Structure 1
Amino acid sequence: MIVNRFTIVIYQIFFTAVVAIPIILGILTKGTRYFAQKKREKPKCLEGWDSRFIQLKNIRLHYVQTGSDDKPLMLFVHGYPEFWYSWRFQLKEFQHDYRCVAIDQRGFNLSDKPPRIEDYNVRELTNDVKNFIEALGYKSAIIVGHDWGGAIAWLFAEYYPEMVEKLIFLNITRPATLVNHFRNSYEQFKKSWYFFFYQTPKLPEILSNAEDMKLLEFFFRSKEMGIRNQENFTDEDLEAWKYAYSNNGASFEYPINYYRNMFDSTSLYGEEDILNMPVLVIWGTDDAALGKELAGLSLKKLTNGRAEYVPGASHWVQQDAPEVVNKLMREFLAQQ
């Protein structure tokens, strides 16, 4: 464990106490309205996609596909709090050249939601990727990952390098690199405080669901954290997010379990393997969650990698600046 248990508990108690104050005030001032959620119909933007399910060895995953089955596989792996729709711009852009597949990771949206925290160990998550690729009939794939999806993609490339043709990471580094960095950087520690808050049972879910999932508006619409180019994140897109986190058995509990499991996932923090396949790191420079210096730190673990920065883009770079991201991806994919 890269952070000792005592330290985790101390920070958990502190940040939980800090966050509990506005929650209590919200309950006192708004009463039952604080917990009210609007009943939602499926937004039109989620219609018309090729939506599929696949049964793996121990879990059923949902995914959306563009492009034909006979093309090379490009697999998109989303982060938190996201789902397959985060890749809508890329699914459309690359559909003529690849079999583009965006999964809902376990615990998200329409995929199965195992109940235990241990079910979200990174070994399970990386095995989902392995089993998914094989179930589609492929031996390897181009993998594109953002946030948690990028962390899983990085570890997958360490465990199964022969199954990765090329890698594209968006605003993420290797988990051990990130945790080591926030131990040594006060600026990153301030940005990563929620790692500790999310260890607390139930309260993060209460906050996430409060006032009709207002936290999602903070993530994607606020000045601090949100997408800068709001024309790329419409009111209907926001409704799609709220629908995905409140229907078909979905909730914030299972995605938050990724964080609750992270400090006990020893495989996150072992010796860092060097990745030898071609790797592109794309980084939105206005990321409020992860410092852009992490892109450079990522390169230390890559023999054939490069970093490209997207000035002014937020943490949600593939949605914030899709034209720039798609161009960078296409140039990288064209290289031999």
Structure 2
Amino acid sequence: MTRSETVHAGPLSFHCLVAGEAGRPLLLFLHGFPEYSGAWAEMLERLSDRFFCVAPDQRGYGSSSKPTEVRDYATGKLAADAAAILTHFAPGARAVVGHDWGASVAYALAFSRPELMERLVIMNGVHPVPFQRALAAGGAQSEASQYIHYLRSERAEARLSADDYAGMMRLFTKDMDIDWLRGERRADYLRAWSAPGALTGMLNWYRASPMKVADPGEPLADDPLAGLDPERVRVRPPHLLIWGDGDTALLPAAADGLETFCDALTRAHVAGADHWLHHQKPDEVAALIAEFCAD
């Protein structure tokens, strides 16, 4: 049975969904945009018989704290949140599982605190180096990511929330299958988005990101990664990348060359799924996680 717990980390508090028995190997699930802890309901249902599952509302989302400044959403602070939540429940995780923006936090945690995880699972999320290279190239990924400019704009809140979040729903569903987002579940998402301060907190993840997006057909003249020490962004724990092949927001180029930055990478593809693979193919995704995280 899934239950709610609150974790305090300094001045901030984090609402977490928890399922399974404490003492089992821990799986920490980190959601992306524009989701919240409830995004992991299918995974908790399928994995909590073997694992102790924790899924927080990350900073700025749902029922967790929502600092007001853009600088409060720097990746280092988000990774520190994840570390505090994880260590509240256990000394370390069998695996940290991240999707979309949650993948960015999971990667940052793997870079800075690899001792906190035995394994890393990423679902349609990106390592910063291959992604920045794809964003800078001016090709298909640059074109697919033009929405980032929109989300960083001062008018994003008004546009996305108008007409009962119709703008958010259009963005969420563009060229994707969202048959799973119906009825009470849709209402739950609307409640999460409309929590005081939530929409600005969610958008501040984009505003705080240093990622640079080229215009289509116009590669960036300067290398945004010049001088980066590759050892700072190396994934040392065993790493599973699960990819929904129909994703139109994150394209295959976003993960090109990932092996260069990993000690041990396994790739798994999920046919018939797009960016929202954990909702569309929950049995297949849960089975991949369970197999990778087994003793």
TM-score by length of structure 1 reads 0.78
Q: Structure 2 matches for 1:127-142, cutoff 5 A?
A: 127-142=80-95
Matched, 1:210 2:162: yes
Distance 1:153 1:332 in 2: 16
> Aligned partner of 1:53: which letter?
T
Q: Which residue of 2 aligns with 1:81?
A: 34
Distance 1:323 1:137 in 2: 26
Shift of 1:331: 1.8
Q: Structure 2 matches for 1:48-197, cutoff 5 A?
A: 49-197=2-150
> Aligned partner of 1:226: which letter?
D
Question: Once superposed, which parts of structure 1, at least 4 consecutive aligned residues long, lie more than 6 Å away?
Answer: none
Relative distance call for 1:172 and 1:83 in structure 2 (3 A) is: same
Name the SS for the 1:309 alignment partner.
strand
> Aligned partner of 2:188: which letter?
A
Distance 2:147 2:48 in 1: 36
Q: Which residue of 1 aligns with 2:241?
A: 281
Cα displacement string for residues 224-262 of structure 1 (whole angstroms, at most 9, x for unaligned residues) = 1333xx2x3322211111011113x24311110000010
Name the SS for the 1:198 alignment partner.
helix
Name the SS for the 2:35 alignment partner.
coil
Q: Which residue of 1 aligns with 2:189?
A: 241
Please say if residues 94 and 293 of structure 2, whose CA atoms lie closer than 8 Å, have aligned partners that are also in contact: no
Distance 2:283 2:252 in 1: 20
Please say if residues 199 and 260 of structure 1, whose CA atoms lie closer than 8 Å, have aligned partners that are also in contact: yes
TM-score by length of structure 2 reads 0.89
Please say if residues 66 and 198 of structure 2, whose CA atoms lie closer than 8 Å, have aligned partners that are also in contact: no
Shift of 1:332: 1.3
Shift of 1:141: 4.2
Distance 1:141 1:130 in 2: 14
Please say if residues 56 and 135 of structure 1, whose CA atoms lie closer than 8 Å, have aligned partners that are also in contact: no
Shift of 1:105: 0.3
Please say if residues 278 and 304 of structure 1, whose CA atoms lie closer than 8 Å, have aligned partners that are also in contact: yes
Cα displacement string for residues 67-88 of structure 1 (whole angstroms, at most 9, x for unaligned residues) = 0122221100000000011111
Please say if residues 287 and 314 of structure 1, whose CA atoms lie closer than 8 Å, have aligned partners that are also in contact: yes
> Aligned partner of 2:158: which letter?
I
Relative distance call for 1:185 and 1:325 in structure 2 (3 A) is: farther
Shift of 1:327: 1.4
Matched, 1:331 2:291: yes
Relative distance call for 1:264 and 1:287 in structure 2 (3 A) is: closer
> Aligned partner of 1:285: which letter?
D
Matched, 1:255 2:202: yes
Please say if residues 219 and 225 of structure 1, whose CA atoms lie closer than 8 Å, have aligned partners that are also in contact: no
What is the aligned residue count?
280
Cα displacement string for residues 132-179 of structure 1 (whole angstroms, at most 9, x for unaligned residues) = 122224234410000000011001100011111111000011123212
Unmatched 5+ stretches in structure 2: 213-223
Q: CA RMSD in A?
A: 2.0
Relative distance call for 1:305 and 1:264 in structure 2 (3 A) is: closer
Distance 1:183 1:72 in 2: 39
Matched, 1:271 2:223: no
Unmatched 5+ stretches in structure 1: 1-47
Shift of 1:197: 2.2
> Aligned partner of 1:251: which letter?
A
Distance 2:82 2:257 in 1: 25
Q: Which residue of 2 aligns with 1:16?
A: none
Relative distance call for 1:176 and 1:242 in structure 2 (3 A) is: same
Distance 1:328 1:317 in 2: 12
Relative distance call for 1:186 and 1:257 in structure 2 (3 A) is: same
Distance 2:111 2:159 in 1: 35
Please say if residues 107 and 254 of structure 1, whose CA atoms lie closer than 8 Å, have aligned partners that are also in contact: yes
Please say if residues 217 and 238 of structure 1, whose CA atoms lie closer than 8 Å, have aligned partners that are also in contact: no
Q: Looking at CA atoms only, which structure, 1 or 2, has the larger radius of gyration?
A: 1
Shift of 1:311: 1.5
> Aligned partner of 1:246: which letter?
S
Relative distance call for 1:141 and 1:129 in structure 2 (3 A) is: farther
Shift of 1:305: 0.9
Distance 2:171 2:20 in 1: 30
Please say if residues 130 and 256 of structure 2, whose CA atoms lie closer than 8 Å, have aligned partners that are also in contact: no
Please say if residues 59 and 66 of structure 2, whose CA atoms lie closer than 8 Å, have aligned partners that are also in contact: yes
